Amino acid sequence: MASPQAAVMGNAVANADAAMAVESVPATPPDATATSSEPKSIVVAALPDSSQTLPAETSPVQAATASLPPVSGDTEEVARPLDIFEECLVVDVCIDRYLWALYERTPKQDTISVQEQRKVTVKKKRKTVTVTRTFTRRVDNDFTWKDPKAAERMGMPMIDYVIGGVDRSFKLKLFHALYAAEQAGLAPGITSAFRDDYRQSIASGLKAASDKSYHGGSFRGGYGHGLAVDVVSVKGATRAERWVTTEALWKWIDARGPDFGIGRPYLDRDPPHVAPIDGKEYAAHRGGTKAQHAEADRKKRDRGALRVVAKRSKTAKASKGRTI
């Protein structure tokens, strides 16, 4: 029997205690003899503690375990909206499985800078000499191995490491936002979610210090406190095509993400990076004019204080050198 699909209703959620509404629709029969006229019910469930289940008298939420297409060269099949199915009694588990499905279907590829040394011939003082110079070039990088290695070090299944380490309220916001993006015709995917200090240490490119990452560094609270994921599009047969659809996804997040409580703190400096807009990271980088003015005033006061200290120190040294 084909899987029933679910559609998320309502607007954005502001916090982890916001309600989640899911409307189930009748399943599409595989043939004329298997039709069912019984409609599915509408379920509204508040996000419970991870150990809590929905009341017995309430119909189970049809949500969050996604049917992934088999890995193949059919990129249209990979990028199609996920079929959401399976009776789920624990909403946290449902959300984890949906986000994990987005992670699983996403190629783990990027472009990194590689330095290489070459011997070149140059002229110095009218003489031809051979010198070694360093050149930088951009190469494709497959980082599929990094999360499995980090999960193995922590002795965890991949889903528990990658998705389980993300902050619970942030996961709820991501669920609503990325599901809405799918309904808007986009094809979101997750390349990276939780990272511990080790995983951050082997990350490439622009990155925070190993323990300072908002993905879950120990300085930020560690496991269960990850407040960042990297989001791209999976639609497109080549990386160039996926780049075009990814930019469209990022523009959608910039426009609609705040409705669901998420945004991109760094914009083009780290475009895939998504975080909660009520978090410290977003406030520090996208906090608006008032925050920017406050930060500028603080830096100005600090510079002024340093000048005063330096002036006093200089005066004190001059006084010691005087003879009376």
CATH number, position 258: 3.30.1380.10
Give residue 161's domain range: 6-108+143-278
Same domain? 17 vs 113: no
pLDDT at residue 59 tops 70: no
Same domain? 209 vs 166: yes
Q: Where does the pLDDT of residue 139 fall: very low under 50, low under 70, confident under 90, or very high at 90 and above?
A: confident
CB atoms near residue 79 (< 10 Å): 21
Instruction: Quote the pLDDT of residue 91.
Output: 82
pLDDT at residue 256 tops 70: yes
Instruction: Quote the pLDDT of residue 90.
Output: 74
Q: Where does the pLDDT of residue 288 fall: very low under 50, low under 70, confident under 90, or very high at 90 and above?
A: low
Instruction: Quote the pLDDT of residue 7.
Output: 39
Same domain? 137 vs 195: no
Mean pLDDT of 252-280: 97
In a domain, 29, yes or no: yes
In a domain, 60, yes or no: yes
pLDDT at residue 40 tops 60: no
**What is the chain's mean pLDDT, rounded?**
76
pLDDT at residue 165 tops 90: yes
Same domain? 52 vs 171: yes
Mean pLDDT of 282-290: 77
Q: Worst-scoring range by mean pLDDT, 39-43, 127-131, 141-145, 303-307?
A: 39-43
> What is the number of structural domains in the chain?
2
CB atoms near residue 302 (< 10 Å): 10
Alpha helices, H only, the chain: 75-79, 91-104, 146-154, 158-162, 168-183, 197-201, 239-260, 280-286, 288-320
Same domain? 155 vs 216: yes
Same domain? 155 vs 229: yes
46, containing H or E segment? strand 42-46
In a domain, 284, yes or no: no
In a domain, 216, yes or no: yes
pTM: 0.66
Q: Worst-scoring range by mean pLDDT, 58-62, 155-159, 276-280?
A: 58-62
- pLDDT > 90 fraction of the chain, expressed in percent and rounded: 48
Q: Where does the pLDDT of residue 176 fall: very low under 50, low under 70, confident under 90, or very high at 90 and above?
A: very high
Q: Worst-scoring range by mean pLDDT, 73-87, 276-290, 309-323?
A: 309-323
Picking from 246, 216, 211, the residue whose alpha carbon sits closest to that of residue 229 is 216
Instruction: Quote the pLDDT of residue 206.
Output: 76
Mean pLDDT of 225-238: 97
In a domain, 301, yes or no: no
Q: Worst-scoring range by mean pLDDT, 114-123, 163-172, 268-277?
A: 114-123
Same domain? 132 vs 195: no
Same domain? 151 vs 87: yes
Q: Which amino acid is at 202?
A: I
Q: What is the DSSP string of 242-288?
A: HHHHHHHHHHHHHHHHHHHTEE-SSGGGSTTEEEETTSHHHHHHH-H
CA pair distance 230, 64, nearest whole angstrom:
20
Instruction: Quote the pLDDT of residue 181.
Output: 97
Mean pLDDT of 293-309: 62
pLDDT at residue 202 tops 70: yes
Instruction: Identify the domain boundary among 263, 278, 293.
Output: 278
In a domain, 312, yes or no: no
Same domain? 30 vs 41: yes
Q: Would strands 229-233 and 42-46 be described as parallel, antiparallel, or unpaired?
A: unpaired
Give Cα 222 distance to the centre of its chain. 16
Q: Which residues contact 143 (CB under 8 A, 6 or more apart)?
A: 108, 109, 110, 203, 204
Mean pLDDT of 238-264: 97
Q: Which residues pair with 24 in a beta bridge?
A: 6
Same domain? 166 vs 189: yes
Q: Where does the pLDDT of residue 186 fall: very low under 50, low under 70, confident under 90, or very high at 90 and above?
A: very high
CA pair distance 317, 234, nearest whole angstrom:
65
Q: Where does the pLDDT of residue 167 fall: very low under 50, low under 70, confident under 90, or very high at 90 and above?
A: very high
In a domain, 318, yes or no: no
Of 6 and 146, the one with more pLDDT: 146
Instruction: Quote the pLDDT of residue 34.
Output: 40
Mean pLDDT of 74-78: 67
Picking from 78, 220, 226, the residue whose alpha carbon sits closest to that of residue 150 is 226
Instruction: Quote the pLDDT of residue 89.
Output: 67
Same domain? 71 vs 125: no
Mean pLDDT of 97-102: 96
Same domain? 176 vs 244: yes
